[in-house]
Amino acid sequence: MTALTNLVDQTIAEIGSYVRNQESVTVTLSAIDDNDLTILVDDAKMVNRGMIEIDDELIYVKAANATNGTLSVLGTGSNPVGRGWRSSGATSHVTGSLVRNNPLFPRDQVRRAINDTIKGMLFPVLENYTFTFTGSQYAYVLPDDVVNITGVSWEFPDSTKVWGLIKRWRIDRNYLYNGETKTAIILNEAPMPGKSVRVQYTRYPVELTDEELLTDSGLPASCEDVVRLGAMWRLLSTVDPGKVTATSVSADALDQPVAAGASTNAAKYIFQLYTVRLAEEISKQQANFLNTIQYQR
């Protein structure tokens, strides 16, 4: 199983084959606190004035001293503005932490792209909700994350352990329950009172925290490449806008190692791969639906 932190590493490694951006790196030679403004590194020549990344924190370096191997961070002792740059959050770091110089895709940005992809996937995560039919109540409130119902069944009163399908039901998304508007299922077909009714429904996947596994979002493990492709598409789509700062057309053409629009074309290609794989996974999931036929009367 793959955790979010592993997905971030894999996405950064995979997207590196689509960009010409060889990052220079070094490591810290001592631990630093969340407000330290001097960072001792193994090779300060590998760092330029500007943004660096240590673990998940972005830091703005105002000067690098190659002689003593130190990096000076923007700010003062009482106002370390260069720490936690771009709202990445200032944290402490241990000796030997990797220092990435001017990362094109910071880890925090990659993490957001992954979670944005997960939240944006119209993937039908299957869940089951069970309640007891009372015989006198025909409306039952469903969980708040219900998107659609894919089938309803009830427990037969015998030893076969077979659940029979209920074909007459409807969804009421404006059901008033204890003064609140809820989503409820209205049964137009009565099973035996006292027996369990199981509602199979779909919900959307939810975003992940660092140590959570992909499956904690509700997505199957087979969707790992789909999530990576979706994140890469989102990240590559942000590269070309930086080229609009060129002072002239000729200067832009001479200075660019890659033609303008190249990352956009790559993003389109990745998006096509993403949509194909997403459609495949959705088709596989739909095969698990309990029942797609519903009778209103």
Domain boundary residue, one of 48, 71, 102:
102
Q: Is the domain of 153 the same as that of 210?
A: no
Task: Give pLDDT tens digits for 29-75.
Answer: 999 999 999 999 999 999 999 999 999 999 999 999 999 999 999 99
Domain, as residue range, for 42: 23-102
Burial letters 262-285, b for 16+ CB under 10 A, else e: bbeebbeebbeebeebbeebeeeb
Q: What's the domain count of the chain?
A: 3
Q: How far apart are CA 62 and CA 84, in angstroms?
A: 14
Looking at residue 296, its pLDDT comes to: 54
Q: How far apart are CA 286 and CA 297, in angstroms?
A: 25
CB of 156 closer than 8 Å to CB of 176? no
Domain boundary residue, one of 169, 203, 237:
203
- 226 against 290, higher pLDDT: 226
| Residue 294 lies inside a defined structural domain of this protein | no
Cα 260 → chain centroid: 28
Q: What is the pTM of this model?
A: 0.84
Backbone angles phi, psi at 115, to 5 degrees: -70, -35
| Residue 255 lies inside a defined structural domain of this protein | yes
Q: Domain containing 84 — which CATH number? A: 2.40.30
Task: Give pLDDT tens digits for 225-269.
Answer: 999 999 999 999 888 655 444 444 444 454 555 565 677 888 999
CB of 129 closer than 8 Å to CB of 143? yes
Looking at residue 266, its pLDDT comes to: 87
| Residue 2 lies inside a defined structural domain of this protein | no
